[in-house]
Chains A and B, each alone.
Chain A
Amino acid sequence: MDELRELYQQVILDHNKNPKNYGKPEAHSHDSEGYNPLCGDRIHVYAEIEDEIIKSVRFEGSGCAISKASASVMTTMLIGKTVAEAKSIFDGFQEMITADVNSSPNYDKMGKLAVFSGVREFPTRVKCASLAWHTALAAIDKSDDVVSTE
Chain B
Amino acid sequence: MKDIAALEKNVPAAALTYDIDSVYNDFPILHKPIRDKELIFLDNAASTQKPQIVIDTINRYYQEENANIHRGVYYLSEVATRKYEEARETVRKFLNAASEKEIIFTSGTTDSINLVANAFGREFFKPGDEILITTMEHHSNIVPWQMICEDTGAKLRVAPINDQGELLIDEFEEMINSRTKLISVVYVSNSLGTVNPVEKIISLARSQNVPVLLDAAQAVAHTPIDVQKLDCDFLAFSSHKIFGPTGVGVLYGKEKHLEKMRPFKGGGDMILQVTFEKTTYNALPHKFEAGTPNMAGVIGLASAIDYVTSVGLEKIHAYEKMVLDYGTELLADIDELRIIGTAAEKSGAISFIIDNVHPHDIGTWVDRDGIAIRAGHHCTQPVMDRLCIPATSRASIALYNRKSDFDALASSLKTIIEVFR
Query: Top 5 closest A-B pairs, CB basis?
Result: A64-B360, A64-B358, A40-B377, A40-B391, A62-B390
Q: Mark each residue of chain B from 375 to 419: 1 if its CB lies under 8 Å from any CB of chain A, else 0.
A: 111000100100000110000000000000000000000000001
A125 contacts the other chain (CB 8 A): yes
By the criterion CB–CB under 8 Å, are A7 and B364 in contact? Answer: yes
The CA of A121 and the CA of B380, in the complex, are separated in Å by 29
The CA of A120 and the CA of B392, in the complex, are separated in Å by 24
Q: How far is the CB of A87 from chain B (nearest CB, A)?
A: 27
Smallest Cβ-Cβ distance to B416: which chain A residue: A8
Contacts from A to B (Cβ < 8 Å): 1, 3-4, 7-8, 13, 16-17, 38-42, 62-66, 68, 122, 124-125, 128
By the criterion CB–CB under 8 Å, are A63 and B381 in contact? Answer: no
By the criterion CB–CB under 8 Å, are B361 and A39 in contact? Answer: no
The CA of A88 and the CA of B358, in the complex, are separated in Å by 30
By the criterion CB–CB under 8 Å, are A64 and B368 in contact? Answer: no
By the criterion CB–CB under 8 Å, are B361 and A40 in contact? Answer: no
What would be 18 A-B contacts, judged by CB atoms less than 8 Å apart?
A: A4-B368, A7-B364, A8-B365, A8-B419, A8-B420, A13-B420, A16-B420, A39-B375, A39-B376, A39-B377, A39-B391, A42-B390, A62-B358, A63-B360, A64-B361, A65-B357, A125-B364, A128-B360
B22 contacts the other chain (CB 8 A): no
How many B residues are at the interface, by size bracket?
10 to 19
B356 contacts the other chain (CB 8 A): yes
A8-B420, A17-B356, A64-B360 are known; give 10 further A-B pairs, CB within 8 A. Answer: A4-B368, A13-B419, A13-B420, A16-B420, A39-B376, A40-B381, A40-B391, A65-B358, A124-B364, A128-B360
By the criterion CB–CB under 8 Å, are A1 and B368 in contact? Answer: yes
Q: How far is the CB of A123 from chain B (nearest CB, A)?
A: 11
What total of A-B pairs shows CB separation below 8 Å?
A: 50
List of B residues within 8 angstroms of A63 by Cβ: 358, 360
The CA of A3 and the CA of B375, in the complex, are separated in Å by 20
List of A residues within 8 angstroms of B357 by Cβ: 65
By the criterion CB–CB under 8 Å, are B361 and A65 in contact? Answer: yes
Smallest Cβ-Cβ distance to A13: which chain B residue: B420
List of B residues within 8 angstroms of A128 by Cβ: 360
Residues 337 to 380 of chain B near chain A (Cβ within 8 Å): 356-361, 364-365, 368, 375-377
Q: How far is the CB of B236 from chain A (nearest CB, A)?
A: 24
By the criterion CB–CB under 8 Å, are A40 and B364 in contact? Answer: no
Smallest Cβ-Cβ distance to A62: which chain B residue: B390
Smallest Cβ-Cβ distance to A5: which chain B residue: B419
Smallest Cβ-Cβ distance to A39: which chain B residue: B376
Q: How far is the CB of B142 from chain A (nearest CB, A)?
A: 15
Q: A40-B377, A40-B384, A128-B360 are in contact. Are A65 and B368 (CB under 8 A)?
A: no
